[in-house]
Structure 1
Amino acid sequence: MRNRYQCQLCSNATAVDAAAGLCAVCARSAGFRRPLPADFFTTEEMRVALAQHDFGVVFTEIRRRTGLSQSQLAALVGLSQARVSEVEGGMRRLAGVTSIARISTVFAVPAQLLGFHVNTASEAGSLASEEVDWVDRRDFVTLATAAALGSRLHPELERLAALLPDRLEPISRLHIGDSDIDAVEAISDGFRRWDLAHGGGLCRTAALSQLQQVAVLDDAVCTPSVRARLYVATAELASMAGWLAYDVEDHNAARRLWTYALHTAQRAEESPRSTDLMTLILLDMAHQALHLRRPKDALSFAQLAAATSTSRRHPVSQITAGYIQAVIAWCWAALGKADSTNRALAESRRRYDAASADTTPPWAWFVTDAEIAAQQGHSLYLLSATQPRFAEAAVTRLTVAVQGHAAEHERSRAVVLPTLAVAHFRVGDTDSAVRVGREAVSAVSTLSSRRCYARLRDLDTVAAHHQQLPAVLELRAELAAAPAG
């Protein structure tokens, strides 16, 4: 069967084989002695191999059917002949999404057979042009659940590393030890400190670069204890990179990174840190879902976090247990459920009060009294959207947070200021709303955080209802002029 498509090599709109996106001239020049059969990729053998990303089977069968040499196939897909030989021999696997996209494009492999969820209006054989949408996909809660449970049944989990941007080649260094893991942990801590002070925009690229280098350590030789630490350290760095992506509102990247982090942390069952980390990653997913105005999804993630915290070998810390309930409170508040919100807030306070210096893990240094006040105030702020009687209590707690955040936590302070201004509007204190709103503009403008800027837009929406007042009109002008992070 023949159709007219654009040749993937010469770009001419001419007749090409249905199972290989090349015109006859380019196919002969590339070394094809015979065309691929029209049903080549839909046979059971190929479906299984493609679903598992077993390109050794795919390459071997393509060459058998077409007469291509290893060198000729390598040239087509942008690999070396040695790499093709290693892949066919089972010594190496292809993980990079760029290479997979190239194979899909050259040979017109339907992207769905490779396990990617794509826009059905697009060409089936052009994975390179597809954008896997991790924000709008309906099965994301299912995917996160599978990762948290350690399931091997979801087709995307085993190739999550391939979805990281610009995956590097495996390392030549073979051995790693505790000092290497110490360095990775220090890197993650450094990025967290930078984010709290300045926002995620300026260090996001650096975090991705570090993650790319750390992710390939999965092939290194090390002791079991180092391996467990490596999984946790890699997951924590990926989680931090996901948060930085979220802070600049690259939500697709954040979800990919968090899912990779969750799946990696799940592999470290022997590590006491793994349960805490998995739970926090799921709570980050809930945080994002709330930001995207999806409270029901957020509640699903928060409840999954709660279930994860009690179902693994090692318990979570009291700090994490307190945060679980704080996020659950946000979810109920966003859904307008005051009683459920208050119960979760009470349980969160109880858990936080039970924490002590002896049981608080080193990574939780940023969970201060101001941070806890911000969490509580945010629940009350969300409730006040539908039940204004909670606005005054929101003002009280958010004010404590703003006044208590240290200078090195400026991003944390800045993200609270717009919501505090909105809460003042809901109380009816317009003067305070304008004053705090201007302070919010000033604070957010110094940061690299699109998420903070989104809070300014929320403030502007509320301020628009009061723009008959000259001071509010001036505030709206300042909000409009604020940089987008």
Structure 2
Amino acid sequence: MIEACRDRDFGRVFRLVKARAGIYPSMIARRCELTPSRVGEVIDGRRQLLHMDVIERISDGLRIPGHMLGLARRTWETPQNLTVTPREPTEAAPPADMQLAASLPGTDVDSILALAAERDLSPSTLNALHSSIADYWRRDDEHGGESLRPAVLGQLRYVVGLLKEERSSPMRDGLHGIAAELARLTGWTYFDARQYHQARAYFTEALGLAKAVDDHQFMANVLACMSLQATYQDKPGDALALVTAAQDQARAAMGTTPRVLAMLAMREAFAHATLGNHSATHSAISEAHTHLGRISTDDPDPAWVAYFDETKLVVDTGIAHGRLGEAVLAEPLIADALRREHRTNHRGRALHAFWLARTQLQRGKLDEACHTAMDALVPAAAVSSQRVARHLREFHEQLEPFRREPAAVAFESRLREVLPRQVSGSPRP
């Protein structure tokens, strides 16, 4: 990065921030006040950026220190010296662990926060951390995880830092659980961005944190996430092995609830469907529905599985049938779930609408498929998710044989209006 900035090779800079920081070209464009097409041309080597005002916008938008690009110190950079002058002379210096360094580097925020952190944690502290995680998941559904990742990572580092100190067993177990959930959420944001290597690293960290306190149910949850990722990577054998391991962990846990077992059975159905195994898929679907039917209000469900309700079971059942090519079974299920799905869950609505459009297209319902896909464009534009973008591209490609039909032309026009970047990145002419 230092070399690329020194040479003002912004194509390389943009590629590096995408690969290393997960900042995709669309976000680069927004942060630097550039058009997406211009960013794409720079990355492809078809355009150079030479104007000073543009270079300053890149410095500010990507938080590249001014000196790395031959600019003056930017207004957002931490001053080189921040001297603390006592109001009155003191006879003795304070203890070493209470002294702040004369220079406070902007990248060392975690250590500064640690100095100010409350040392005697209370149950209310744990409740506050759990509440913030619930809020992160809600915002992830509404907007995608890309913009949340820095905050989640910062909180993960903070909680892991707290674990380095001596704690009572209940407090230590609580912190391990929170750290495990934050690591899983970080892995999820990378998975949703289709950065699978980074996702796997954080999922593995979440497994280790849960294993430290023998939380077998949460280990099962993380393994189920990894299984879902394997289906997206077209590794159905890995997906089945991971969900089988998840079910083993669930069986090892005391009091695994029917809701958790239903979620795991549906992950198994996805793995079998990706393998094309019809009978095993139908069996796993049946098992998931049986488990969900056993749920009672007294079940001590973990908070992380609350999302798996009847609507989620129905849409996942439809998707499993869709993966098998059973469009006749899939279409009414996905359509029914989509009608019941919460309006603020933009990513879920977009994903499920594109699945519905694909099943309708498989059934020869071109007009309905294009109408459904057009409805999906608004929630797709509201969320930053490479998984959603992938489903959109797949539907777009499946429309290729019908591209001259009026319904397909109308969809293409709406797509260019709402998500022009997706069209420019499409293989279609």
Of all paired residues, the percent bearing the same amino acid is 23
Matched-pair contact (CA < 8 Å) for 2:318–2:330: yes
Please list, as runs of the form range in 1=range in 2, the aligned pairs for 1:254-333 lying within 5 A after superposition.
254-269=199-214, 274-312=215-253, 314-333=254-273
Q: Deviations over 1:285-334 (max 9, x none)?
A: 1111111221111111111101111124x232211100111011011111
Q: Does 1:383 align with 2:324?
A: yes
For residues 432 and 471 of structure 1, what CA distance do their matches in structure 2 show? 9
For residues 443 and 207 of structure 1, what CA distance do their matches in structure 2 show? 23
SS of 1:195 mapped into structure 2: helix
Matched-pair contact (CA < 8 Å) for 1:247–1:450: yes
For residues 420 and 289 of structure 2, what CA distance do their matches in structure 1 show? 37
SS of 1:200 mapped into structure 2: coil
Q: Does 1:455 align with 2:391?
A: yes
What residue in structure 1 maps to residue 93 of structure 2?
A: none
What residue in structure 2 maps to residue 434 of structure 1?
A: 370
Q: Deviations over 1:373-432 (max 9, x none)?
A: 111111011001xxxxx1011111111121111123232111111111000001111111
What residue in structure 2 maps to residue 32 of structure 1?
A: none
SS of 1:407 mapped into structure 2: coil
SS of 2:255 mapped into structure 1: coil
1:392 aligned to which of 328, 353, 356: 328
SS of 2:384 mapped into structure 1: coil
What residue in structure 1 maps to residue 290 of structure 2?
A: 350
SS of 1:348 mapped into structure 2: helix
The amino acid of 1:283's aligned partner reads A
Aligned-pair CA distance for 1:477: 5.0
What residue in structure 2 maps to residue 405 of structure 1?
A: 341
Please list, as runs of the form range in 1=range in 2, the aligned pairs for 1:154-173 lying within 5 A after superposition.
168-169=110-111, 171-172=114-115
Matched-pair contact (CA < 8 Å) for 1:369–1:404: no
Aligned-pair CA distance for 1:483: 5.8
SS of 2:344 mapped into structure 1: helix
What residue in structure 1 maps to residue 161 of structure 2?
A: 216
SS of 1:355 mapped into structure 2: coil
For residues 420 and 256 of structure 2, what CA distance do their matches in structure 1 show? 39
The amino acid of 1:277's aligned partner reads F
Q: Aligned Cα RMSD in Å?
A: 2.2
Alpha carbons of structure 1 residues 234 and 483: separation in structure 2 relative to 1, 3 Å:
farther
What residue in structure 1 maps to residue 137 of structure 2?
A: 192
Matched-pair contact (CA < 8 Å) for 1:374–1:401: yes
Q: Deviations over 1:441-479 (max 9, x none)?
A: 222011122211111011112111322423214424544
Number of equivalent positions: 311
The amino acid of 1:441's aligned partner reads L
With normalisation by structure 1, the TM-score equals 0.61
1:238 aligned to which of 183, 187, 198: 183
SS of 2:383 mapped into structure 1: coil
Aligned-pair CA distance for 1:167: 10
Q: Does 1:445 align with 2:390?
A: no
Matched-pair contact (CA < 8 Å) for 1:176–1:221: no
The amino acid of 1:292's aligned partner reads Q
SS of 2:202 mapped into structure 1: helix
Matched-pair contact (CA < 8 Å) for 1:424–1:430: yes
The amino acid of 1:429's aligned partner reads K
What residue in structure 2 maps to residue 38 of structure 1?
A: none
Aligned-pair CA distance for 1:215: 1.6
SS of 2:213 mapped into structure 1: coil
Q: Deviations over 1:25-70 (max 9, x none)?
A: xxxxxxxxxxxxxxxxxxxxxxxxxxxxxxxxxxxxxxxxxxxxxx
SS of 1:402 mapped into structure 2: helix
For residues 246 and 415 of structure 2, what CA distance do their matches in structure 1 show? 36
Aligned-pair CA distance for 1:366: 2.1
SS of 2:392 mapped into structure 1: helix
SS of 2:140 mapped into structure 1: helix
For residues 303 and 219 of structure 1, what CA distance do their matches in structure 2 show? 33
Matched-pair contact (CA < 8 Å) for 2:338–2:349: yes
The amino acid of 1:377's aligned partner reads G
With normalisation by structure 2, the TM-score equals 0.68
What residue in structure 1 maps to residue 53 of structure 2?
A: none
Matched-pair contact (CA < 8 Å) for 1:201–1:248: yes
For residues 206 and 328 of structure 1, what CA distance do their matches in structure 2 show? 32
Gaps of at least 5 residues in structure 1 are 1-164, 385-389
SS of 1:408 mapped into structure 2: coil
For residues 193 and 262 of structure 1, what CA distance do their matches in structure 2 show? 23
Matched-pair contact (CA < 8 Å) for 1:302–1:324: yes
What residue in structure 1 maps to residue 195 of structure 2?
A: 250
Q: Does 1:366 align with 2:307?
A: yes
Q: Deviations over 1:183-227 (max 9, x none)?
A: 221111111111122222232222112212122111122211111
Gaps of at least 5 residues in structure 2 are 1-106, 423-429
